[in-house]
Amino acid sequence: MGLNLAYTDGQTPLDEDEKEDLLINSISTRAELDEFEQKNIEDAIQWSLTRKFKAAQILSESFIKDLHKKMYGSVWKWAGQYRKTNKNIGVDKLEISTTLRSLIDDAKYWLENSVYEPDEFAIRFKHRLVSIHCFPNGNGRHSRMIADIIIEKIYKQPVFSWGDSSISEETDIRDKYLKALRKADKGNFDLLLKFAR
Closest CA to 129 of 77, 60, 188, 175: 60
| Angle (nearest 5°) at CA 13 between 45 and 130 | 50
Q: Identify the DSSP state of 152.
A: I
CA 188 to chain centre: 20
- Tell me the C-alpha to C-alpha distance, in Å, between residue 153 and each of 85, 184, 187: 33, 24, 26
Q: Per-residue pLDDT for the chain (197 aa), expressed as one digit of tens each?
A: 466 666 556 667 788 889 899 999 899 888 899 899 999 999 999 999 999 999 999 999 999 999 999 999 999 999 999 999 999 899 999 999 999 999 999 999 999 999 999 999 999 999 999 999 999 999 999 999 999 999 999 999 999 999 876 676 667 888 899 999 999 999 999 999 999 99
Q: Minimal CA–CA distance to 163: which of 154, 153, 172? A: 172
* pLDDT score at 83: 97
Residue 1 has what pLDDT?
A: 44
Contacts of 8 (CB under 8 A, 6+ apart): 168, 169, 170, 174
Q: If you classify domain 16-196 with CATH, what class do you get?
A: mainly alpha
Dihedral sign (CA 11, 157, 80, 63):
positive
Residues 144/150, Cβ–Cβ less than 8 Å: no
Q: CA Rg, the chain, in Å?
A: 16
- If DSSP codes are grouped into helix, strand and coil, which group holds residue 40? helix
Domain ranges of the chain: 16-196
Q: Can you give the pTM of this predicted structure?
A: 0.92
What was the pLDDT predicted at 29?
Answer: 85
pLDDT for position 174: 86
CB 28 within 8 A of CB 37: no
Determine the pLDDT at residue 110. 98
